[in-house]
Amino acid sequence: MKVLKFGGTSVGSPERMKKLLDIINPNEKQIVVLSAVSGTTNSLVEIADCFMKGNKEKAMVATQDLKQKYEIFIHELFLKAEYLDKSKEVIDYHFNLISSFSKVVFSSVEEKIILAQGELISTHLYHLYLAEIGIQSVLLPALDFMKIDEDNEPIVDYITQKLVPLLQANKDCNLFITQGYICKNSSGEVDNLRRGGSDYTASLIGAGIRSQEIQIWTDIDGMHNNDPRIVKGTKPIAQLSFDEAAELAYFGAKILHPQSVFPAQKYKIPVRLLNTMQPDAKGTLITNDSERGSIKSIAAKDDITVIHIHSTRMLLAYGFLRKVFEVFERYKTSIDMITTSEVALSLTIDDTRYISEITRELSTYATVEIEKQQTIVCVVGDFNAEEHGAASKVLDALKHIPIRMISYGGSSYNVSLLIKTTDKVEALKSLHNRLFD
């Protein structure tokens, strides 16, 4: 069985929703994972934010605005009165639920329920659309099988345990429609896999059912060799290894959710990145194989904070790094880049929730300096030390830009550099010219 995920723009209009049948084959067994209609999750974030700040009036206006968009949407999607009525009920149900939060004490529990409505609506509408045109499908509630643990880690075994029986109970059916992004947490509340999380859902389902292939259908023809939003003339990459794709996703290539490669990688399930607007384009195939000898792609991750830890005594004496890392572990803050000298250590984080506590603890044995608004630029490809020359090209391309940190040699397929965010656009363009033109 294949898993096909369609992103926000791929279900972004009634016309686009109808066009999905150019790609989905109703005669083949498939699990179809849908995102919310594009723009919806942003609107839901705004609505929840207004409720959280106590601005109920603004929340209700935004809720009505969004509802109106869906009222227009369903009139274009459905032809038969019966299905239009059913879809109206769906819209009313979800928007009444959102509106009902004006009457309660609003917390992060309600916030996450609001954020889940986009995927619940899009999947229900698509399921009804298929029914209207006579195609049988089963609507699988992701909240019944997608779960995260206390550390917000999805539980693949739980997915297998819960999802396989649901599929078996519907043996006669080919198409299974389900929500991306949403899940339950360890307290049984509605939660989500973070923004862009529908890719992660597809990969987790693929892993959970050991699917034959995972297809991520989006609005571009695969992973490009640089950020197409910033650099002109970027090109799709035909083939990437799981490690390379994971690195690019983690370091800012928005086409893939940062964690989404890992479940597929663990079970060696090929992932294809494909373009809904150009279904025949080859896209990118992600497998265990890596093509040797070339630089593949560049990505950048913003909102990085660098922490410089300077100690006058025996910084690198044994036990010191453990002491430093334990602080970050205690505050569940992961570190992206590290560089060391005899007396100083610099590291970067992107989650700054506990930065004051971390700084306070580190300050008991070192001088700590913090710099914000940094960007990690990540170049992925064959950096095998034997194939010398690749890393020097990267440095040469950035010779006019101050580089704050460099990470090279941690793996043979990546070089990461820390620069000021204000230098990012120039860095990406200059790297592109030097490495690909």
Q: By CB under 6 A, tell whether 69 contacts ligand ASP.
A: no
Choose the contact partner of 203 out of ligand ASP, ligand ADP, Mg ion, none; CB within 5 to 8 A by kind.
Answer: none
Binding mask 159-198 for Mg ion (x = CB under 5 A): -------------------------------------x--
Kindly write out the interface string for residues 34-63 of this chain, putting x where it contacts ligand ASP by CB under 6 A and - elsewhere: -xx----x----------------------
Tell the residue number behind the tokens 């519907």, with chain if given: 170
CB of 259 to ligand ASP, least distance (A): 12
The minimum distance between CB 10 and Mg ion, in angstroms, equals 10
Task: Give the three-state DSSP class for 195.
Answer: coil
Cα pseudo-dihedral 398, 402, 407, 412, rounded to 10: 0
Stretch that binds ligand ADP, among 226-234, 329-337, 400-408, 419-427 (CB under 6 A): 226-234
For the CB of residue 406, give the shortest distance to ligand ADP in the complex, in Å: 22
Q: How far is the CB of 37 from ligand ADP (least distance, A)?
A: 10
- What residue has token string 């004006």? 102
The answer to whether the beta carbons of residues 147 and 183 sit under 8 Å apart is yes
Q: Shortest approach of ligand ADP to residue 11 CB, angstroms?
A: 9
Q: How far is the CB of 428 from ligand ADP (least distance, A)?
A: 10
Residue with Cβ nearer ligand ADP (85 or 426): 426
**Taking CB under 6 A as the rule, which mask of x and - marks residues 168-207 in contact with ligand ASP?**
------------xx-------------xxxx---------
Query: C-alpha distances in angstroms, 27 versus 30, 129, 279, 368?
Result: 9, 17, 18, 61
Burial degree of 114 (CB within 10 A; 0-12, 13-18, 19+): buried
Q: How far apart are CA 94 and CA 66, in angstroms?
A: 11
- Pairwise CA distance, residues 221 & 190, whole Å: 33
Binding mask 92-121 for ligand ASP (x = CB under 6 A): --------------------------x---
Question: Interface with ligand ADP includes 66 (CB under 6 A)?
Answer: no
Could you give the CA distance from residue 386 to residue 312 in angstroms, rounded to a whole number?
A: 37
Cα gap 372→190, rounded to integer Å = 33
User: What DSSP string runs through 46-81?
Assistant: HHHHHHHTT-HHHHHHHHHHHHHHHHHHHHHH--SH
Return the residues of window 313-332 that contact ligand ASP according to CB under 6 A: none
Inter-residue contact 156 to 204 (CB < 8 Å): yes
- Rg (C-alpha) for the chain, rounded Å, is 24
To the nearest whole angstrom, how small is the minimum distance from the Cβ of residue 40 to ligand ASP?
Answer: 7
The residues, ordered by sequence, that sit 6+ positions from 329 with a Cβ below 8 Å of its Cβ are none
Q: Specify the residue, 37 or 269, whose C-beta has the smaller distance to ligand ASP.
A: 37
SS3 432: helix
Instruction: Give contact residues for ligand ADP (rule: CB under 6 A).
Output: 7-10, 35, 196, 218-220, 223-224, 227-229, 253-255, 299
Instruction: Give contact residues for Mg ion (rule: CB under 5 A).
Output: 7, 196
